[in-house]
Structure 1
Amino acid sequence: MTYDRNLASRLFNAVNMTLLVLIAAMMIIPFLYIILISFATEEEVLAKSFLLFPTKFSLTGYRYILSTPILLRSLGVTIGVTVIGTLVNLLMTVLMAYPLARKDLYGRQPIMLMIIFTMVFNAGIVPTFLIVKGLHLTNTYWALIMPGAISAFNLIIIKNFFQQLPDGLEESAKIDGCSDPGILFRIVIPLSMPAIATFALFYAVNHWNTFLSAILYINDSSKWPIQVLLRQIVILSEKGLSDLSEAPPPPSKIINMAVIVFSTAPILAVYPFLQKHFAKGVLLGSVKG
């Protein structure tokens, strides 16, 4: 009986491990393919319809992208919008989530119903554009930040997270003479850093990938974020043009892969610095019997 149970357990583990390896390979192999093709030479890309492992490596695609005169300025725009936008998102989300987490807040339920209403019904692109235009935010960087300053979904999750904190912490702080802002910034936020770091990454990724908002609200090419500029580079390379670059365009396939790697790598580099917060204990050592 014990032997059969051990055999079934080993068989289950083997099948489970095989499935996990296959799923991981389905996710990793396409990304490796993109990276390898971005370093391939023009000759191999043009000679072979399908190329998995290039025999020679070249930086032609990256040289073409980096030769674009406005690339660094566009990259600076994206970094600035990502940093400032993420700070605005976190500040406004936390400042709204904390009072909503308090059960003694007057009108708490109607406010929550209005927040949930925005998750179900959306005004649409045209009304949002008219509001942004009416506020004179078009052609400004604030048009990329303010319309999505608070995510209703993230707000609800952070509010629920704040509600899980022990009431004894706030009561003890009030006895010591701490004000409500002091409780928020000195107790609640430090204990909530794993959740805040997680949503900081979500907000940052959203700002880094800003594309549609920039297309709608930004007409000045000098204010384009990196995603819009890279799209323009891809379009011109497919048409055989090189208006945005001083170098002749290599095959569009190399440029497409290099653009994907160039736009993805920076945000991937940030992840290891925030990953440690995801599984970190939130209340470890904060409350003692």
Structure 2
Amino acid sequence: MNLVEYEADSTWRSAVSRRTTGQKLRDLFAAYLRLDVIEEIMFPASNALAYLALVVPAFMYYFQSIFLHTRSQYMSILIGVAVAAGLQEALTGLTTRLQFAQERGVLETYLIEPISWRLIPLGMNVWKSFVGIVITLITIAIGCALGGRIDFSGLPLFFVLLLLGVLASNGLGLFAASFLILFKRGSPVMAVYGLLGALVGGSLFSITVLPPAIRWASYLAPQAYVISGARSLLTPHAGATAMPLWLPFVVLGLASVLSIITGLWVFERALHRAQVMGILGT
């Protein structure tokens, strides 16, 4: 390395070291968002089909409600399905990204940036979290276009509730990502969570109809809180909800903070352990 290259390298390292944590997070988010947007642009047909698929559940449950003479329950069911789909995107986004990096052998290149490894998942799942929110909102909008009615005054609080649900799902996704780093398989964790959410999350029915012996499991799934709160806010006259409106906000707020803090620590430890074992890039 000649003198000019050494001085340039020293200047770059000095500038990097002076960045605050906020600036590092901003640059990290911008970099991963750019990668995700480029990927979206590179495969326009597949992405267009993915968004077009949102029409299917909206129409399916619409015609089902006509056939079963349950039009008054249409939006209540669709809201549950829309929320579950949106949270699933936020939940699986990080493991999908990591598995893609492992398969291409570029995971270790993500770790050479001069930032804490704990910050990496915060950037890697921003786009998928945003997509999850968009999927939920688009599905509900399609239902409204088909004649479903919601209470629009509840939309601001619903958006806050959905955001809390996405954050809690990100926290849970960190544990699945840690499992993936160490064992190269995230599917067992995701499968258990997916079954739990599908059965007791309340996407197709209120959890009040579940037997008390298994109803307790509903309170372990973020979907149950978001869906119950969403139905209370957007379809207050569609029937009884499973829990008071304040409870989802409190539980999801606490769950978001605790799961993200704990999940980031576990994720960093998993990376260090994989590096020591020599399996990080394999």
TM norm structure 1: 0.29
TM norm structure 2: 0.29
Specify the structure having the higher radius of gyration (Cα).
1
- Which structure shows the higher helix fraction? 2
Task: Specify which structure has the bigger relative contact order, considering alpha-carbon pairs within 8 angstroms and separated by 6 or more residues.
Answer: 1
